[in-house]
Structure 1
Amino acid sequence: MTSGPTIHLVVNPSAGRGRARRLLPHVHNTLADAVPDGRVVVHIATDYADARKQCLRAVRETTPALHGRRDALVVMGGDGMAHLGLNACAEARADGLDVPLGVIPAGTGNDFCRGVGIPPTVEEATRLVAEGRTSRIDLTEVTGNLAGADRAFVGSVVSTGYDARVNKATNDFRFPIGPLGPLAYGALALGEVARFTPLDYRIEIDGQPRELSSVLVAVANAGHFGGGMKIVPQADVTDGLLDVLLVGDLKRRQVLELLPKLYRGAHVGHPAVEFVRARTVRIDGEAVGRDGSRSPMFAMGDGESLGGVPLNATVRPGLIAVFRA
């Protein structure tokens, strides 16, 4: 019987076109060496739904630390796995469990890791978990018209406009994006420009109502999106605030001009771009077709589908502890 901590390692073996599976033995051994009086329990997920169950089960099996380091949840994969891990740890807080989260970036996007200060390589991120140092970060709690859930927690960006459409097109892409990453995202983004029409938003920022026709409204906790796009470069996951990006009603040509600036974070200061900091944001509205027809607006969070609007985004300061630099 072990007396030390248990590290629950939940793995998406297909992440990075099988890279996660190939590197798993090294990650396991490195973590096992870090807790010689404890154990590393590996959970191999068969699909996204199974990964969610594995993460939730893992945090329920943790026990409070009597001394030394705590039991932990570590997920290995892309942003989808990070999203599942942070949600499992956030939900555990409601049950009085404070389970630290480790993320081993083995996917193609890894935006959550970029935004919260987790090293970009499997080797560095694994070493960071092995060292056992954590710090607390904020999360965005999303409630409203969600698909199959009362709430969801988001670590990076809640997107509802042009960015959400590109995100969904990337998820629906029939072939593996693999190492192309941001290039593939950029190619799909160009394709969406031809089909895009502005959205009519009704929003409230800290209770103050606004109506606007916009290309996108994004609510950021951490500032990276779309495989490295610096959509909110000034975002800070420890400041207890959300960063809201509003992009005005641009022509297609103007969207094309703005797109490369978003990758570099060079859109800050653009006359059509506005940043607002807030604790709560409510988003509602419709997509307007070229014929004047209206259709529901949908939302994405951490690259995953959240559902439709209306939705409410609220910052939850210091909600979870994360192994990070």
Structure 2
Amino acid sequence: MYYFILNPSSQSFGSRSVWSRLSEKLNAQGIDYKVFATRFPGHGKEIARTVTMTDPEATVIAIGGDGTIHDILCGLTNLSTITFGVIPSGSGNDFARGMHISSDPDRAIRAVLAPKRYTRMDLGVLKDRPGERFGVSSGIGFDAAICHEALNSPIKDFLNSINLGNLTYAAICLKQIILYEPCAMTIEADGNRHFEIPRAYFAAVMNQKYEGGGVKMIPDAKPNDGLLNLIVVGDVTKSKICCFLPMAFFGKHIHLKGLHFIKCTDVKITAGRTCAVHLDGESGGMHDTLHIGLETEKLRVITG
């Protein structure tokens, strides 16, 4: 059985257009399905939990952006027996980009209705906050501060409606570069690697290559290799941060001084002050620690 979870406000109502085309195909082919529209933050999580507890072999399809996907991922149960798919209709679509899911709605619809390729992907989990997962990335510091401000930006919906949503992040990023003050961070990876960064701008734990609407943060990250990819940006000047960001869109930043990379399965980040935290670009609140591991079960995702 197909269960479609739709965010009607994604990309300023673009998901409604996608659903209109998809429902025509479902009805024409006589496919059994149920559709649910989210009505409030966290609703996708509730729906996903109910569906997958009731039907442990459900095929759950998200129609929306990275925020909708994140919400649903946090609610899924029976990870090893269900199937997950995405028809992207958000502004960033980093999950779809990293999983090689087509951004073209018609191609994504065809893949969901007639899957040819699956990937057993890892899911990151916050070990000190039960029920919180991520599929793309989680971070603390500068990058999360950008996410927090973007989520409350009054111009984001307008720019999304004309397919210029990434300009929201660019403008906020420039503002944060000027105002953000780095802090000390302590990193403990897999319980046996420990180091300190006196002036860190941010630490991001990546499950996939991209975050922030196409920033190629970890060019060699793989969502199915059983590893987390940590990047810490510290001990750099603001001018170097200005160089880092455009280079990162193309994955050309990895040799810059002041960047630290670690592959691990468990990482604890302790900041010298309370900082913004994000989960797949959604607000994770304000915290001074972030402890991340991997779910024991992998999730089967339709990728083509």
- Judge same fold: TM > 0.5, yes or no: yes
The DSSP-based 3-state class of the residue aligned with 2:298 is strand
Aligned equivalent of 1:210: 195
Query: How far apart in 2 are the matches of 1:318 and 1:235?
Result: 19
> Contact 2:62/2:87 (CA < 8 Å) preserved in 1?
yes
Query: How far apart in 1 are the matches of 2:24 and 2:233?
Result: 47
Tell me by how many angstroms 1:61 deviates: 2.9
Match of 1:298 among 266, 276, 281: 276
Quick one: structure 1 residues 297 and 227, their matched pair in 2 at CA, closer, same or farther if it must change by over 3 Å?
Answer: same
User: Which residues of 2 match residues 230-241 of structure 1 at below 5 A?
Assistant: 230-241=216-227
The answer to whether residue 126 in structure 2 is matched with residue 142 in structure 1 is: yes
- Alignment coverage as a number of residue pairs: 296
> Contact 2:65/2:88 (CA < 8 Å) preserved in 1?
yes
Unmatched 5+ stretches in structure 1:
1-5, 65-70, 287-294
Match of 1:270 among 242, 252, 256: 256
Tell me by how many angstroms 1:25 deviates: 1.8
Unmatched 5+ stretches in structure 2:
none
Match of 1:42 among 12, 35, 45: 35
Give the TM-score of the pair, scaled to structure 2: 0.91
Match of 2:140 among 156, 160, 176: 160
The DSSP-based 3-state class of the residue aligned with 1:168 is helix
The answer to whether residue 297 in structure 2 is matched with residue 313 in structure 1 is: no
- Amino acid paired to 1:197: E
Query: How far apart in 2 are the matches of 1:180 and 1:80?
Result: 17
Query: How far apart in 1 are the matches of 2:78 and 2:40?
Result: 22
The answer to whether residue 3 in structure 2 is matched with residue 8 in structure 1 is: yes
Match of 1:281 among 267, 275, 298: 267
> Contact 1:140/1:315 (CA < 8 Å) preserved in 2?
yes
Aligned equivalent of 2:177: 193
> Contact 2:140/2:290 (CA < 8 Å) preserved in 1?
no
Tell me by how many angstroms 1:154 deviates: 0.7
Tell me by how many angstroms 1:230 deviates: 0.9
The DSSP-based 3-state class of the residue aligned with 1:174 is coil
Tell me by how many angstroms 1:216 deviates: 1.4
Deviations 1:73-93 (A, max 9, x none): 11101101111222223x333
Query: How far apart in 1 are the matches of 2:212 and 2:49?
Result: 26
Deviations 1:260-301 (A, max 9, x none): 111121101112222211111011112xxxxxxxx4123111
> Contact 1:239/1:317 (CA < 8 Å) preserved in 2?
no
Match of 1:76 among 59, 63, 71: 63
Aligned equivalent of 1:291: none
Quick one: structure 1 residues 60 and 188, their matched pair in 2 at CA, closer, same or farther if it must change by over 3 Å?
Answer: same
Aligned equivalent of 2:75: 88
Percent identical residues: 26
Aligned equivalent of 2:48: 55
Query: How far apart in 2 are the matches of 1:56 and 1:73?
Result: 11
Query: How far apart in 2 are the matches of 1:49 and 1:317?
Result: 23
Quick one: structure 1 residues 39 and 234, their matched pair in 2 at CA, closer, same or farther if it must change by over 3 Å?
Answer: same
Quick one: structure 1 residues 172 and 190, their matched pair in 2 at CA, closer, same or farther if it must change by over 3 Å?
Answer: same
Give the TM-score of the pair, scaled to structure 1: 0.86
Deviations 1:148-193 (A, max 9, x none): xx23111111111211111111112123140112222111100111
The DSSP-based 3-state class of the residue aligned with 2:15 is helix
> Contact 1:240/1:316 (CA < 8 Å) preserved in 2?
no
- Amino acid paired to 1:273: L
Tell which structure's C-alpha radius of gyration is larger: 1
Tell me by how many angstroms 1:32 deviates: 4.7
- Amino acid paired to 1:109: G
Query: How far apart in 1 are the matches of 2:20 and 2:241?
Result: 45
Computed over aligned residues only, the root mean square deviation of the Cα atoms, in angstroms, reads 1.8
Query: How far apart in 2 are the matches of 1:20 and 1:92?
Result: 27
Quick one: structure 1 residues 33 and 274, their matched pair in 2 at CA, closer, same or farther if it must change by over 3 Å?
Answer: farther
The DSSP-based 3-state class of the residue aligned with 2:20 is helix
The DSSP-based 3-state class of the residue aligned with 1:16 is coil
